[in-house]
Amino acid sequence: MRILSGIQPTGEIHLGNYLGALKQWISLQNENECIFFVADLHSLTVPYNPKTLQKSIIEKVISYIAAGLDPEKVTIFVQSHIKEHTELAWLLNTICPLSELERMTQYKDKAKKFKSNINAGLLDYPVLMASDILLYKSEGVPVGRDQTQHVELARTLARKFNQKFGKTFVEPKDILPKQGAKIMSLTDPKKKMSKTDSSQSYISLFEDPESIKKKIMSATTDSGKGIKFDPIKKPGISNLLTIYSLLSDKPIKEVEKAFKGEGYAALKKSLADLVIEFLEPFRKKQKEMAQREVYIKEILTRGKDKAQRIAEITLQEVKEKMGLI
């Protein structure tokens, strides 16, 4: 299967990104043809700092490799290096109903969060994402739950294009983890963990042990006691149990049993130790990769060449079908 996914460069990669998306990328890389990129064009739709963007892009590539992607097996590139993404996005815009974009949950959330910057790119974001996916005729798109609505739009646009202009695109499917598709914020367990929220609310993949401990020990938990998985009544504890279960590879039931009769503090302390230990190799590899800028640039040049070849062929085909050539 051809697999494709991306993460935006601004902000730090956190446990939610890892458990929802990256972990799946890593397990898919052995059996599939995988293409992963840094979605820098998407990150321009919310306020960002142009002076630090380049650095963030390189840091994301380092993060991908530190988390376990093998650059010898997968293609890694930067979205803005391939101009066909924006060109196809324009063409897809012409078949995308405005109403589809206006009902997107992420658009509505971000428009509320960034009231003074509701730009056209924010609304058009899912069309660029559809273009990312369709340009490579991708079959599987490993993402967290918050992105499934966008993948659905990519599927709708593929179908619509094929009907209108003749079979061209593959209809992509999202690939969600069974557990961990939506890791919640540590400070507000009713919201998803997100890079664009305060740093207290997430744990970066490369966070130092002291800080991990502090954040987990002060994570918002629920009133009452008892360590029980109940996302409605106990969203805080349920989120910690999910993370515990995923990092220890034990079913939630077993974790609940192990902490039967214990207080919240015992679970938090044990989870902090687990997270620190789990992330130790990530921190090491990240430090090592941060010294190898030339190698990282080489990976990106190779990735760009490979992606470019596929992108050019698809775009040519699309333009012909649309009557442009």
Residues facing residue 228 across a β-bridge: none
Residue 8 interacting with ligand TRP (CB under 6 A): yes
Q: Which of 110, 155, 182, 215 binds ligand ADP (CB under 6 A)?
A: 182
Q: Does the annotation mark 110 as catalytic? A: yes
Q: Which does 192 bind (CB under 5 to 8 A by kind): ligand ADP, ligand TRP, none?
A: ligand ADP
147 binds ligand TRP (CB under 6 A): yes
From residue 107, how far is each of 79, 86, 102, 123, 125 by CA, in Å?
A: 21, 19, 7, 6, 8
Is residue 282 classed as helix, strand or coil in its secondary structure?
A: helix
| DSSP for 214-273, written as a single string | HHHHT----SS-----BTTTBHHHHHHHHHHHHHHT--HHHHHHHTTT--HHHHHHHHHH
Classified as helix, coil or strand, 32 is coil
Nearer to ligand ADP among residue 19 and residue 88 (C-beta): 19
> Is residue 32 at the binding interface for ligand ADP, with CB under 6 A as the rule?
no
- d(CA 195, CA 133) in angstroms, rounded, equals 23
Using the rule CB under 6 A, is 63 a contact of ligand TRP? no
Q: Which is nearer to ligand TRP, 154 or 275 (CB)?
A: 154
Binding mask 185-204 for ligand TRP (x = CB under 6 A): --------------------
Rounded to whole angstroms, the Cα distance separating 285 from 302 reads 21
| Of 38, 141, 243, 300, the one binding ligand TRP by CB under 6 A | 141
Q: Which of 63, 75, 187, 194 binds ligand ADP (CB under 6 A)?
A: 194
Question: Nearest-CA neighbor of 4 among 124, 175, 138?
Answer: 138
**Closest approach of Cβ 57 to ligand ADP, in Å?**
13
Beta strands in 79-162 (DSSP E): 140-142
Decide: is 268 part of the binding site for ligand TRP (CB under 6 A).
Answer: no
- Give me the sheet containing 33-38, strands edge to edge: 75-78, 33-38, 2-7, 140-142, 173-175
The entry of ligand ADP, ligand TRP, none that residue 16 binds, CB within 5 to 8 Å by partner kind: ligand ADP
Q: Which stretch binds ligand TRP (CB under 6 A): 6-14, 57-65, 211-219, 302-310?
A: 6-14
How many angstroms separate the CA atoms of 272 and 89, rounded? 43
The helix (run of H) or strand (run of E) holding residue 174 is strand 173-175
Alpha carbon separation from 215 to 186, 200, 221, 224 (Å, rounded): 8, 6, 12, 21
Nearer to ligand TRP, 34 or 39 (CB): 39
Picking from 88, 114, 185, the residue whose alpha carbon sits closest to that of residue 146 is: 185
- Residue in 106, 152, 132 with CA at minimum distance from that of residue 37: 132
Residue 178 is a catalytic residue: no
Catalytic position from the list 23, 192, 215, 234: 192
Residues whose CB falls within 8 Å of the CB of residue 212, separated by 6 or more in sequence, listed in order: 203, 272, 275, 276, 279
Tell whether residue 174 is a contact of ligand TRP (CB under 6 A): no
| Residue 213 contacts ligand ADP per CB under 6 A | no
Q: Which does 195 bind (CB under 5 to 8 A by kind): ligand TRP, ligand ADP, none?
A: ligand ADP
User: Any contact of residue 138 with ligand ADP (CB under 6 A)?
Assistant: no
Residues 117-136: x where in contact with ligand TRP by CB under 6 A, - otherwise, as a string: ------------x--xx---
The yes or no reply on residue 147 touching ligand ADP (CB under 6 A) is yes
Catalytic residues: 110, 192, 195
Q: Which residues bind ligand TRP (CB under 6 A)?
A: 4-8, 39, 42, 129, 132-133, 141, 143, 147, 150
